[in-house]
Structure 1
Amino acid sequence: MLKYLLVGISLFICHLAYSQTDYRAKISDKDSGAPLVGATILLKELSLGAVSDENGLILLEQVPDGTFTLEIRYLGYETLRIKRTFPVGPSEMPEEFSLDHSEEEMEELIVQSNRSSRVIEDVPTRVEIIAGEELSEKGNMKPGDIRMLLNESTGIQTQQTSATSYNSSIRIQGLDGKYTQLLRDGLPLYAGYSSGLSLMQIAPLDLAQVEVIKGASSTLYGGGAIAGLVNLISKSPQEEPNCP
């Protein structure tokens, strides 16, 4: 009786061993055929996954028998989801998958240089940039002027100086508006004098981004930048109109 019991246990263990297989796959770019390093493959029903190596190869160990959903992901590429029944087959060659590039475009990043020959680690000025969704949100909320855009930035306050013309001054870190330099595309706006500037004259809809430097910058931008400066960067003209 013990002999038959041992034989049954052996057969059960062999069945378990054969019911789990190793699955191999290769992930590559559909256009160039180059292997994708760091692509992930996931069996959603089992929460079993792996990452491709430098050759684009992926190994999933001890996959049980059954039908599962393979989900293949890679940054900048479209996600691929397919059904596979395991065991796949006796072939020892890895199954190949090709991923298409994603059509979604990332937000444009504009890099501009400072008027200094020093490296960035030695430059004491810190530039804050208002761009992208925040600039679009403020422009939609108040498209007539940049008062809201500047007033909601930390350390900046717009103070109305005239009840009739709605002129306003830009105060940075509590200093008077005449110590704030206002630039348009890197050039002084209104002769560099912003204490009596009417912010109603500047619409945020044609701005690509706004750069703010808080603190003394008179060495680089003149005596009007003792409190700081605001640089308004215009949008570049395109071949086709961009209508909101």
Structure 2
Amino acid sequence: MTGNNQNELIQKAIAVLESLESGNPEAITSYVHPDRYIQHNQALADGRGAMLGALDHLKEIGTKVSVKRAFLDGDYVALHSVYDFHGPKVGFDIFRFEQGLIVEHWDNLQELVERTPSHHTMTDGPDTIRDLDKTEANKAYVQSYVENILGGKNPDLLPSYFDGDRYIQHSPHIADGLSGLGAALQALKERNVEFQYTHVHRIIGQGDFVLAVSEGHFDGRHTAFYDLFRVENGKIAEHWDVIEAILPAEKRKNSNSRF
């Protein structure tokens, strides 16, 4: 795939998100497959029609969308954005393309937290993609980290994934550094708060940015974890995340898996 085609897919995905703010259906009718659109946001019905049907309401309530990061991995485009509908939120969206049209969508949303222990926001930091030649190595490294540390396969390896205490944290309740991460994990353990990753469903990356999509449990709730990592010189240097509870079956508007 050429660089121009890569940019085109990202531009299409961003245009579709921005239509949620503008209410203009043109991007959706142009870039979303009319007959084969699989929706994994379980608060929405399947198909392109459900997305088009939501536009008037979203515009009426003053929906805002601001894309902060975008990257592409094969047929997948990942976007990291700030939303405002029924209050400010941070989200990740993943779109899968076939022959230039969007045929599948996943997302994860979380309420935006303004004051964080790290004094970073949930979305600030670098957005320029570097180290394209290291994409596959970085994806494998992040998958190893999620499985060994967050999934609990080999937690003793935790320090090996970081360059000392140099680690920039955007997760809204964790301080900077490996020390901040360790303190947060210990606090959850002491409070008997369940925090468990059970399965890594998808790893999407481009250059130094890698997004891990995982399933697990948090504080007694079935949960989707979206973790974005920036890898620098073979170590995890920065982290953003969005954590969202999965809807119970009786509240879902489609029968697709969340993942």
TM-score between the two structures when normalised by the length of structure 1: 0.27
Larger radius of gyration: 1
Q: Which is helix-richer, 1 or 2?
A: 2
Higher relative contact order (CA 8 A, sep 6+): 2
TM-score between the two structures when normalised by the length of structure 2: 0.26
